[in-house]
Amino acid sequence: MKLETKLVHISEPDELTGAISTPIYQTSSYVQEAPDVNKGFAYTRTANPTRKVVEQAIADLEGGIAGFAFSSGLAATDCVLKLLKQGDEVIAVNDVYGGTYRILTTVYNKFGIISKFIDTTNLENVRNAINKKTRFIWLETPTNPTLKISDIEEIAKIAKQAGALLIVDNTFLSPALQQPISLGADIVVHSGTKYLSGHGDVLSGFVVVNDQNIADELKYLQNTSGGVLSPFDSWLTLRGIQTLYLRLEKHSENAKKIAEYLLTHPKVDKVYYPGLKYHHNHDIAAKQQKNFGGMVSFSLKEDTLEAAKRFLTRTKIFLLAENLGDVRSLGSHPATMTHKSTPIEVRKETGIQDSLIRLSVGIENIDDLLNDIKQALD
């Protein structure tokens, strides 16, 4: 099946009842025929029929052999990091999501895990950073929030030669626009809160793997740590995935037009959007992505926190919120919101200026969105 069809038919009719929509199995436990003899389900932390469907769905969409659903994107990240042991090292893209930076530098560092943050858009930086202790290379591409593009296929080759695992956070594009496993990634991570569910009503996270040994270990960790996705949120995510292709097409179409408009505005300094031909590594984005996504970031010539806040408090359609991937357009200020926990010197070094504004472009009418940006800037 083509992707559009596959997304609509992401779940099969329920075997028990024939229900077209996957039922919400809102139960904590299941009757057993005898001790440890059951129908494949004993306790919902370990497995749930509704969660099982969404886990298989995301695995199929990403081209992996197994998927795991969690209560948030950071719960998914945390589970993957539990694969590490004392003395292991992580190489991560330098403007990684603030929550990922925080968990690496304030939690896992206490257990003897060292993290290096580098500009992974330059392959030589990756080669120079790797050593025999490197266990993970952690990418976001595009990154949050400066939308840097890293070459997944080439970095996967470097990781393999070094005996490291390549993890790609695919939140910004989803499997509708990018499939890292097909490019050589070992593990894909998602905040399903964003584009997968797509309607601002779910908190979820996903991990997809392409190796049975890693899948077995993650399944053990998921059950042991317990941060699993609820049956109802599993169902909501399944519902959202069915319109993923259509939504991402519209998100991408609107975002490109907004990025092109921002380039022409006299108050705007830098515009970050991989669909612009001057964007660093635009050619790589065009090669490994099906489209350029719905995220646009830009900075102002008046590079101050106050200037950014003035813009974000004047928009009418772009809602000021700490989220992205919603059908509604959202705006945020990374320096004081998503990357507030990132040290200021690290933040500025990676391009997260005081005036940097991140837009999650929704699926509204483009004229309304452009007019809203114009009135807020003017």
Residue closest to 285 by CA, chosen among 271, 298, 273, 268 = 273
Residue 273: active-site member:
no
Q: Which of 78, 151, 169, 354 is catalytic?
A: 169
User: DSSP secondary-structure letter at 58?
Assistant: H
Residue closest to 214 by CA, chosen among 236, 185, 249 = 185
Residue 137, strand partner residues: 91, 166
Dihedral (Cα; 185, 189, 190, 196), 10-degree rounding? 50
Residue 92, strand partner residues: 117, 138
Residues in contact with 309: Cβ distance below 8 Å, sequence separation at least 6, in sequence order: 333
Residue 85: active-site member:
no
Hunting for tokens 């997968």 — which residue is that? 196
Neighbours of 125 (CB within 10 A): 16
Provide the sign of the torsion angle of the four alpha carbons 131, 137, 141, 143, taken in this order.
negative
Tokens (6 digits) for 56 = 């298989």
Residue closest to 91 by CA, chosen among 146, 162, 181 = 162
Residue closest to 75 by CA, chosen among 236, 181, 229, 241 = 229
Residue closest to 97 by CA, chosen among 70, 126, 74 = 74
Residue closest to 369 by CA, chosen among 361, 272, 298 = 361
Tokens (6 digits) for 35 = 């001790």
Residue 211 CA to residue 144 CA, distance in Å, equals: 27
Question: Distance between terminal CA atoms of the chain?
Answer: 48
Q: Which of 6, 14, 30, 45 is catalytic?
A: 45
Q: Which of 97, 195, 245, 273 is catalytic?
A: 97
State which H helix or E strand residue 237 sits in.
helix 231-241
Strand bridging mode 165-169 / 134-140: parallel
Residue 194: active-site member:
yes
Residue 97: active-site member:
yes
Catalytic machinery residues: 45, 97, 169, 194
